[in-house]
Structure 1
Amino acid sequence: MLPTEFLINRLNGEEIIPKRLPINSIMCAIADELITCFQQAVGGTQGELDRKLQSMEGDSPDYRLKRGLAHILKSSFSTFEIVSPLEPKELRRRVFTLASQSIPSRQATEETLETLSSALTQELNQEVLPHHIRTGLYADLQENRILTQYEDPAAEALLHRYNLSQVQGIFYRASHMTINAHRNVPGQYKLLFRYLKLFQLMTYIEGDADHGFTITIDGPTSLFKPSTRYGLAIAKLLPALLHVTKWSLKATLQKRDPYNGTLKTGHFALDDKCGLVTHYPAGKTYDSMVEESFAKRWDSQKTGWILEREVELIPLPGSVMIPDFRLVHPDGRDFLLEIVGFWRPDYLQKKFYQVRRSECDNLILAISERLNLDKAGIKVEDVPARIIWFKDKLSPKAVLKVLD
Structure 2
Amino acid sequence: MVLHGEAEFDFYGDLPDYETLTGMPDWTAAEFLNRYNVALVQGCLLYASSLEVTLEAATPMELRKFIRRLKFFRLLAEVEKCAGRKIKLRLSGPFALFSENRKYGLQLAAFFPVILLAGRWSIRAELRLRDGDCEILSLNHEKCPLRSHYQRWSSYVPEEVALFLKAFQREVTQWRSVPDAPLPDMPGEGSIFPDFSFAAADDPKKIIHIELFHRWHSGPLEARLAWLAGHPEVPLLLGIDRSLLGKEGEAGFTARHPVLERHGFFFSNYPGVDRVRRMLEKF
Same fold by TM-score greater than 0.5: yes
**CA distance 1:168–1:349, shift in 2 (3 Å):** same
Question: Which residue identity lines up with residue 149 of structure 2 in the other structure?
Answer: H
The answer to whether 1:402 aligns with 2:281 is yes
Partner SS state of residue 163, structure 2: helix
Residue of 122, 128, 140 corresponding to 1:271: 140
Give matches, 1:237-386, under 5 Å: 237-254=111-128, 263=133, 265-273=134-142, 274-281=144-151, 282-283=153-154, 289=160, 291-301=161-171, 303=173, 305-314=175-184, 320-328=191-199, 329=201, 331-338=203-210, 340=212, 343=215, 346=218, 348-353=221-226, 355-356=228-229, 361-365=234-238, 372-374=249-251, 376=253, 379=256, 381-383=258-260, 385-386=262-263
* Deviation by residue 1:25-68 (Cα, 9 ceiling, x = unmatched): xxxxxxxxxxxxxxxxxxxxxxxxxxxxxxxxxxxxxxxxxxxx
Question: Which residue identity lines up with residue 303 of structure 1 in the other structure?
Answer: T
Question: Which residue identity lines up with residue 402 of structure 1 in the other structure?
Answer: E
Question: Which residue identity lines up with residue 147 of structure 2 in the other structure?
Answer: V
CA contact (8 A) 1:345 1:375 kept: no
The structural deviation recorded for 1:277 is: 0.8
Question: Which residue identity lines up with residue 163 of structure 1 in the other structure?
Answer: N
User: 2:37 matched to which residue of 1?
Assistant: 163
**CA distance 1:334–1:253, shift in 2 (3 Å):** same
* Deviation by residue 1:184-205 (Cα, 9 ceiling, x = unmatched): 1223222332444455557433
CA contact (8 A) 2:71 2:195 kept: no
Question: Aligned residues, how many?
Answer: 270
* Deviation by residue 1:333-352 (Cα, 9 ceiling, x = unmatched): 33224264753571543453
CA contact (8 A) 2:254 2:260 kept: no
**CA distance 1:365–1:173, shift in 2 (3 Å):** closer
The structural deviation recorded for 1:330 is: 6.2
More helix per residue: 1
CA contact (8 A) 1:203 1:319 kept: no
Question: Which residue identity lines up with residue 281 of structure 2 in the other structure?
Answer: V
Residue of 48, 73, 86 corresponding to 1:174: 48
Aligned-pair identity in percent equals 22
The structural deviation recorded for 1:225 is: 9.1
The structural deviation recorded for 1:295 is: 0.4
TM-score (norm 2): 0.69
CA contact (8 A) 2:79 2:191 kept: yes
Which segment drifts farther, 390-399 or 320-329? 390-399
User: 2:18 matched to which residue of 1?
Assistant: 144
